[in-house]
Amino acid sequence: MKVLVLNPISRLSKNVVRDVLYGCWCKGKRIGGATVPPFGLLMVATVLKKDGNDVIFLDAQAEQLDVEKIKICAKDFNVVIIATSTMSYREDAEVLSELKTANPNLKTVVFGSHPTFLPHSALSNEGVDIIIRREPEYVIRDLIREIKKGDYFWKQVRGIGYRNGQEYIVNDYYPFIENLDELPYLDTSFLPKRVDYFNPIVKRTPYITISTSRGCPGRCTFCTAPLFDGMRIRYQSGDYVLGQIEEFLKNGFKEIYFRDDTFLVDKDRDIEICKGIIDKGYDITWICNVRIGMVNKEMMELIKKAGCHLIKTGVESGVQEILDNVKKGIKIEQTRNVFKWAKEVGINTHAHVMLGMPGETKETLKRTVNFVLELEPTTATFGICTPYPGTPLFEEVAKLSPELKDGTSADFSKLHTVGLFNEYYTDLNKQELEKNVRLAYRRFYWRISYLLEMLTKIDGIKDLKKFAIAGFKIFDFSLQGDE
């Protein structure tokens, strides 16, 4: 079975990050033009290869291959698999339609948050043959096994959806993978050799992304992680993670971006991984996501010693009432402590901030931006709270706007930077929120003191180029937004 695992190009954006629960692009401006090795697709390709399939991985986005070139690449394949997101699914489905026109025998398969939570919407486009709900690896593995046998067999696979004439068939969920150590180590030989993935927050290249756990202890009403991952956390063991790190080092990678929703949750595992890196003398630097309230200064000192140079945190708001409204489960003082400890230890910080959450007003917006300035993170991103499919917030909005359920009532392609139904739960209109996002960027990044501090951190021509590219993208966004 010839299988193409594809990260398609976008006509709307230079880069799309599809393998997170929401999706992200913002035309590459708000996130500084970052490109990310697509971990989810790579793991699917790895599992299928191990199962004996003829697998090709094509990152058309990183290699800047247009749809015509993708058609040529896909013409001899039996199945094409892509990850999609709520932001990108319409355009992704259009690309698949074009591939099917060029190769009528091609079966198209999509996975991700959008087909999981809005299966009928995902199946409404003729370019999509089969959807995968929740975790893709074993569902797709079993699907490919059964496709080889014929239509009757693959239609019985759990965790999929498909069309039967005008009817949408959505099968029961596939069980979660209980032992994540069963998964093979990521096969990085699939990555294009001539591409150096760019990310302004990364210290050393080449870098790779990985997730060593699934799930999050939080129950934020704006987040899809709890439902997507089964309302609990599953981990790969410390031994497994250290083995994967060793494989990355053998293959020339110098930095890891741990994409776990929350990396530092299980203290014993965290200590085992960090001490393993230190004791084995691994020359690796890394980045991870940290949940406020689940890390202390002692742990920060350990991860710093083990090579961590940046932690990313969901600050979200500087107003306790707003945090409580979305069940964030953190306290303002805890946030202050995390940023204070990081500065004392010497770890860089990135603050994720969301404007326009339930209860937001003009006054709370100002308080939040002032709070971020007080924290003094190394970098920050500001977005607009969005009612994503699969979240309690989405369900609340859908009660007032039922057409939201079919995924056709709004332009999802500009999520994060364009207000979407925020008027249902804030005192602010769409234009005010969009203006305040750009203003937040200007207030944070245009400070003379900040610019001078960043200049002192430039170490060589490569660093200068990185900061220049990211700076231009963010500067452009803060003036013009997503247009």
Q: How confident is the model at residue 88 (pLDDT cuts 50, 70, 90)?
A: confident
Q: Is the pLDDT of residue 206 over 90?
A: yes
Q: Which residues pair with 348 in a beta bridge?
A: 310
**Lowest pLDDT segment from 132-146, 224-238, 332-346:** 224-238
**Lowest pLDDT segment from 14-28, 93-107, 133-147, 255-269:** 14-28
pLDDT of the residue at 13: 64
Q: Are residues 320 and 278 in the same domain?
A: yes
Q: Which residue has the tokens 């393993």?
A: 276
pLDDT in tens, 349-386: 999 999 999 999 999 999 999 999 999 999 999 989 98
Q: How far apart are CA 82 and CA 262, in angstroms?
A: 25
Domains in the chain, number: 2
Q: How far apart are CA 326 and CA 338, in angstroms?
A: 20
Query: What CATH code is carried by the domain that includes residue 396?
Result: 3.80.30.20
- Residue 177: inside a domain, yes or no? no
Question: CB burial class (10 A; 0-12, 13-18, 19+) of residue 410?
Answer: middle
The average pLDDT across 182-202 equals 90
pLDDT of the residue at 90: 86
Query: Is the Cβ–Cβ distance between 42 and 22 less than 8 Å?
Result: no
In this structure, are strands 234-235 and 213-214 parallel, antiparallel, or unpaired?
antiparallel
DSSP state of 51: T
pLDDT in tens, 59-68: 998 898 999 9
Range(s) of the domain holding residue 75: 2-170
Q: How confident is the model at residue 461 (pLDDT cuts 50, 70, 90)?
A: confident
Of 57-61, 396-400, 476-480, the range with the highest mean pLDDT is: 57-61
The angle at the Cα of 321, spanning 319 to 326, to the nearest 5 degrees, equals: 100
Q: Are residues 316 and 375 in the same domain?
A: yes
User: How large a percentage of the chain has pLDDT more than 70?
Assistant: 89
Question: CB burial class (10 A; 0-12, 13-18, 19+) of residue 55?
Answer: buried
- Residue 179: inside a domain, yes or no? no
Query: Is the Cβ–Cβ distance between 5 and 55 less than 8 Å?
Result: yes
Q: Are residues 31 and 159 in the same domain?
A: yes
Q: Look at 147 and 399; give whichever has higher pLDDT.
A: 147
Q: Which residues pair with 3 in a beta bridge?
A: 55, 79
**Lowest pLDDT segment from 46-50, 216-220, 302-306, 330-334:** 216-220
Q: Is the pLDDT of residue 326 over 70?
A: yes
CB atoms within 10 A of CB 468: 12
Q: What are phi and psi of 255, to 5 degrees?
A: -145, 150
Q: Are residues 93 and 159 in the same domain?
A: yes
pLDDT of the residue at 145: 96
Q: How far apart are CA 358 and CA 383, in angstroms?
A: 14
The average pLDDT across 226-245 equals 94
- Residue 153: inside a domain, yes or no? yes
Residue closest to 289 by CA, chosen among 279, 303, 277:
303
**Lowest pLDDT segment from 33-37, 122-126, 458-462:** 458-462
Q: Which residue has the tokens 């070139």?
A: 69
Query: Is the Cβ–Cβ distance between 273 and 286 less than 8 Å?
Result: no
DSSP state of 34: -
Q: Is the peptide bond before 206 cis (omega within 30 degrees of 0)?
A: yes
Both tokens of 471, joined, read 């700076």
N residues, the chain: 483
Distant-in-sequence, close-in-space partners of 17: CB < 8 Å, separation ≥ 6? 23, 24, 25, 31, 34, 36, 38
Helix, strand or coil, per DSSP, at residue 238: helix
pLDDT of the residue at 31: 52
Q: Is the pLDDT of residue 471 over 80?
A: no
Query: Is the Cβ–Cβ distance between 315 and 351 less than 8 Å?
Result: yes
- Residue 148: inside a domain, yes or no? yes
Q: How confident is the model at residue 28 (pLDDT cuts 50, 70, 90)?
A: very low
- Compute the radius of gyration of the chain from its Cα atoms: 22
Query: What CATH code is carried by the domain that includes residue 140?
Result: 3.40.50.10140
The average pLDDT across 144-159 equals 92
DSSP state of 278: H
Q: Which residues pair with 464 in a beta bridge?
A: none
Residue 132: which H helix or E strand, with range? strand 130-132
pLDDT of the residue at 230: 85
Q: Are residues 286 and 140 in the same domain?
A: no
Sign of CA pseudo-dihedral 252, 256, 259, 262: positive
Query: Is the Cβ–Cβ distance between 350 and 380 less than 8 Å?
Result: yes
**Lowest pLDDT segment from 27-41, 74-88, 261-275:** 27-41
The angle at the Cα of 377, spanning 266 to 295, to the nearest 5 degrees, equals: 15
Q: Look at 408 and 236; give whichever has higher pLDDT.
A: 236
User: How large a percentage of the chain has pLDDT more than 90?
Assistant: 67
- Residue 175: inside a domain, yes or no? no
CB atoms within 10 A of CB 70: 22
Q: Are residues 209 and 129 in the same domain?
A: no
pLDDT of the residue at 30: 46
pLDDT of the residue at 177: 96
**Of 128, 153, 170, which residue sits at a domain end?**
170
**Lowest pLDDT segment from 16-25, 184-193, 316-325:** 16-25
Q: Are residues 357 and 449 in the same domain?
A: yes
Q: Are residues 392 and 458 in the same domain?
A: yes
Q: How confident is the model at residue 414 (pLDDT cuts 50, 70, 90)?
A: low
Q: Are residues 92 and 226 in the same domain?
A: no
The average pLDDT across 319-343 equals 98
The average pLDDT across 158-166 equals 95
Q: Are residues 370 and 452 in the same domain?
A: yes
Distant-in-sequence, close-in-space partners of 400: CB < 8 Å, separation ≥ 6? 424
- Residue 405: inside a domain, yes or no? yes
- Residue 356: inside a domain, yes or no? yes
Q: Are residues 277 and 324 in the same domain?
A: yes
Mean pLDDT score across all residues of the chain: 89
Q: How confident is the model at residue 26 (pLDDT cuts 50, 70, 90)?
A: very low
Q: How far apart are CA 93 and CA 95, in angstroms?
A: 5
Q: Are residues 165 and 290 in the same domain?
A: no
SS3 readout for 208-222: EEECCEECCCCCCCC
Q: Is the pLDDT of residue 29 over 70?
A: no
pLDDT of the residue at 406: 60
Residue closest to 392 by CA, chosen among 334, 327, 324:
327
The average pLDDT across 445-458 equals 84
- Residue 191: inside a domain, yes or no? no
Which one-letter amino acid corresponds to residue 414?
Answer: K
